[in-house]
Structures are given as structure tokens and as C-alpha cells.
């Protein structure tokens, strides 16, 4: 008697919970890892938007920089019959098979941040992220203009590039942006070495660069965390980071501008220039899903507008491919304002999120 009563009670309980979860849109998100401050802000942005309160159930998976883990989690999402799959891919190649599986299961796939390099573009629904090559070109153009302004010949600009994760769109684009300027202006590119977008690898890379290239005077770091490591490595051997490269300083250039420390480094002259990379993709992805749910059209590719920051006043704007980009002069007030964007809980207050709610 008691047994059958309790099993009966259990059934009632199950019936009660099912309809609630049925109403939620289930999103499986394969995040590539947690290598940088940018990535932490990106994860937070996604998590703060895909909440039950907003009508979603988020299944989050951190792939720890391994594409194989991402492929496994996408397969799990397919098996769980999620409504949408979102992937922030670690590198571009090798996605065809698993994306075909998602397509066959009729699950829309949204690619965020870095891209996938697939032969058939119909294997994913859309992509949203940054124009990484433009970020790189803006930075390289700023360097060209700055050095020209200070009467430094391009061949006397001895640059090392500490690259990001090799094969990642952010690395490919930023590396190509610098190569474009090397070709165009004749800078001396000493070396391109991988730094995996982390502070630890940035430090190690800088240590060896200082030993191998005594004339190095510019370090192009493909993100701020690498720059933090590079600055520490320079300071550890008594080198001064700054823009006075004619008098022995080492100029640090970098990308992201997410963590206060990076912007403070700009104010203090330790980082000469930062190319903004915006990580707040949660509301953008949500907005795309909301449109898909409402059968509205979406763009295959959505680019995010980004700024370039420096504390130096000499270069006010840059001209690239017939477009003028203003250089934002960093001030303590601007830094404070910008940091509000990254306070937990305010991620949804960006312009792009407005139409999603």
C-alpha cells in the first residue's frame, strides 16, 4: 500500500515540473575556454542573458581550448535535442562533420566571436563577432602614423608579434593586419611567436624575444593578457615600457580593453594603444534567437563596431580603406564610464540588446 502510494505521488510530481521546462528555449553553448579577461566577460554576458527569467535554459560547456571537447559537447547538445546550438569556436578548421550532424538534426547553429572555416556556409545559421583584420590594420596604421610623427623610419621600427591561439580567427585577422602594414610601409617584423592569449605565455614569449632580438622596440600583443605578461617580462630585466622608442623604451600594443588594468596601463603609458574588442555578445546572440523564433530575417554576418584607444594625443584619426576611424583619447573619466559596461548585471544594457526584450 505504502509503496504504490509513494510511486503515485512521484508521478504527480513529474507531471507538474514538465510543462514549466517545456516553455523554455533550450540553448547549448560551447564556450572554447577561459583563457583571458575577454573570455570571462564573454561567458558572463552569455550567462546573464540566457536565464530562466528571460525564457531560456542554458546548457553551458567550457571546452578548455580543445576543439575535440567542443565537438563532443555539440554532439551532446544534438542528443539532448536543444533548440539552438551556440558555438564560440577555438579555431576555424575542422567543423564540417559536426555541423552537418546539427543541420541533419534541424538545430540552428549560431557561431559567435571567432569563425568556422567550412566549405558549405549553410552548415551554420549565422555568425556575430568582430572584424579582427580591421582591428589589426587600425593598430598597425596607428603605429605607422605615430612613428612617422616622431621621425622614426619604418625600417627602424623593430616589431615582434606575440600571436594568439594559432588558427583562431582573432589571431589570423590581427596577424594579417600587421603583415599588411609591414608590406605597405616596410616595418621590420622580427618575429611572430605564439602566446595563446594568456599572460603566462605572453611573459615567456617576451623573455625569449628580449634575449633573441636586442633591437626589439615594439611588441604587438594580440590581447591584453599577453601584454600584461610582456610588460612584466620587460620590467623584470629593467627595460622600460613606453612610447619613447628612440631612447630605449619598448612600445606595447594590444587588443581587447576589457579589464580596468589594461586601460589604466594605457593611462600610465605602459600600453601605447589598445584596439577595442567587444565581448558582450550575449544580448546580440539573444536578439538573433528572438528574431529566428519570430520567423524574422537575420543577417548571416553581424559585425560589432569597435574603437581604438590611446592616451597619446598626436594621432586623432586613422584612414583605412577609405574609412575614417577616430582614435579615442583615454581619460580617467572615459575609463570609469567604460568599466560600467563590464559590471556584472549590466551586460544587457548595451544598445544591441534593446530590441531583444
Distance CA 155, CA 182 (A): 9
78 vs 113, which CB is nearer to ligand GYE?
113
Q: Is 259 in the site for ligand GYE (CB under 6 A)?
A: no
Q: In what order do the strands lie in the sheet with 218-221?
A: 188-194, 158-163, 218-221, 251-256, 273-276, 308-310, 323-329, 317-320
Residue from 27, 73, 113, 179 binding ligand GYE (CB under 6 A): 113
172 vs 210, which CB is nearer to ligand GYE?
172
Per DSSP, the three-state class of 101 is helix
Stretch that binds ligand GYE, among 33-41, 151-159, 228-236, 315-323 (CB under 6 A): 33-41
Q: Which residue has the cell 583615454?
A: 330
115 vs 158, which CB is nearer to ligand GYE?
115
Query: What's the Cα-to-Cα distance from 325 to each of 184, 275, 321, rounded to whole Å?
Result: 19, 12, 10
The contact mask relative to ligand GYE for 48-87 (x = CB under 6 A, - = no) is ----------------------------------------
Q: Cell triple for residue 116?
A: 568556422
Residue from 95, 197, 309, 347 binding ligand GYE (CB under 6 A): 197
Closest CA to 246 of 312, 162, 147: 147
Residue from 39, 138, 270, 338 binding ligand GYE (CB under 6 A): 39
Q: Is 114 in the site for ligand GYE (CB under 6 A)?
A: yes
Closest CA to 285 of 70, 91, 48, 93: 48
Q: Report 130-149 residues binding ligand GYE (CB under 6 A).
A: 130
Residue from 58, 74, 82, 170 binding ligand GYE (CB under 6 A): 170
141 vs 256, which CB is nearer to ligand GYE?
256
Q: Is 276 in the site for ligand GYE (CB under 6 A)?
A: no
Q: Is 35 in the site for ligand GYE (CB under 6 A)?
A: yes
Stretch that binds ligand GYE, among 35-43, 45-53, 147-155, 204-212 (CB under 6 A): 35-43
209 vs 258, which CB is nearer to ligand GYE?
258
129 vs 242, which CB is nearer to ligand GYE?
129
- Per-residue buried b or exposed e for 171-198, using 16+ beta carbons within 10 Å of the residue's own CB: bbbbbebbbbbbeebebbbbbbbbbbbb
With contacts defined by CB under 6 A, how many residues of the chain interact with ligand GYE? 13
Per 3-state DSSP, the chain is made up of helix, strand and coil in percentages (nearest 5) of: 45, 20, 35
Q: Is there a contact between 85 and 25 (Cβ–Cβ < 8 Å)?
A: no
Distance CA 223, CA 198 (A): 8
Q: Is 217 in the site for ligand GYE (CB under 6 A)?
A: no
Binding positions for ligand GYE, rule: CB under 6 A: 35-36, 38-39, 113-114, 130, 170, 197, 223, 255-256, 277
Amino acid at each position: 500500500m505504502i509503496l504504490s502510494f509513494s510511486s503515485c505521488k512521484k508521478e504527480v510530481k513529474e507531471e507538474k515540473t514538465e510543462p514549466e521546462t517545456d516553455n523554455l528555449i533550450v540553448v547549448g553553448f560551447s564556450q572554447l575556454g577561459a583563457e583571458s579577461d575577454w573570455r570571462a566577460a564573454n561567458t558572463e554576458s552569455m550567462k546573464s542573458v540566457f536565464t530562466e527569467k528571460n525564457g531560456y535554459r542554458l546548457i553551458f560547456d567550457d571546452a578548455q581550448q580543445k576543439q575535440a571537447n567542443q565537438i563532443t559537447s555539440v554532439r551532446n547538445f544534438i542528443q539532448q535535442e536543444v533548440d539552438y546550438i551556440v558555438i564560440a569556436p577555438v579555431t576555424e578548421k575542422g567543423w564540417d562533420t559536426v555541423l552537418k550532424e546539427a543541420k541533419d538534426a534541424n538545430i540552428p547553429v549560431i557561431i559567435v566571436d571567432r569563425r568556422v572555416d567550412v566549405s558549405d556556409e549553410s552548415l551554420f545559421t549565422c555568425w556575430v563577432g568582430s572584424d579582427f583584420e580591421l582591428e589589426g590594420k587600425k593598430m598597425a596604421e596607428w603605429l605607422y602614423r605615430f612613428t612617422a610623427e616622431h621621425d622614426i623610419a619604418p625600417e627602424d621600427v623593430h616589431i615582434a608579434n606575440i600571436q594568439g591561439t594559432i588558427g583562431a580567427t582573432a589571431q589570423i585577422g590581427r596577424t594579417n593586419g600587421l603583415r599588411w602594414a609591414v608590406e605597405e610601409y616596410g616595418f621590420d617584423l622580427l618575429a611572430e611567436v605564439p602566446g595563446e592569449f594568456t599572460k603566462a605565455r605572453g611573459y615567456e614569449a617576451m623573455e625569449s624575444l628580449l634575449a633573441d632580438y636586442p633591437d626589439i622596440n615594439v611588441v604587438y600583443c594580440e590581447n591584453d593578457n599577453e601584454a600584461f605578461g610582456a610588460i612584466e617580462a620587460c620590467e623584470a630585466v629593467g627595460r622600460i615600457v613606453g612610447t619613447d622608442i628612440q631612447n630605449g623604451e619598448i612600445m606595447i600594443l594590444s587588443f581587447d580593453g576589457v579589464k580596468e588594468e589594461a586601460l589604466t596601463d594605457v593611462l600610465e603609458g605602459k600600453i601605447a594603444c589598445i584596439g577595442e574588442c567587444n565581448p558582450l555578445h550575449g544580448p546580440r546572440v539573444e536578439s538573433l534567437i528572438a528574431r529566428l523564433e519570430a520567423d524574422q530575417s537575420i543577417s548571416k554576418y553581424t559585425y560589432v563596431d569597435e574603437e581604438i584607444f590611446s592616451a597619446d594625443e598626436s594621432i586623432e584619426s586613422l584612414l583605412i580603406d577609405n574609412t575614417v576611424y577616430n582614435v579615442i583619447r583615454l581619460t580617467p573619466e572615459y575609463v570609469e564610464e567604460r568599466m560600467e559596461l563590464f559590471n556584472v548585471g549590466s551586460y544587457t544594457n548595451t544598445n544591441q540588446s534593446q530590441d531583444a526584450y
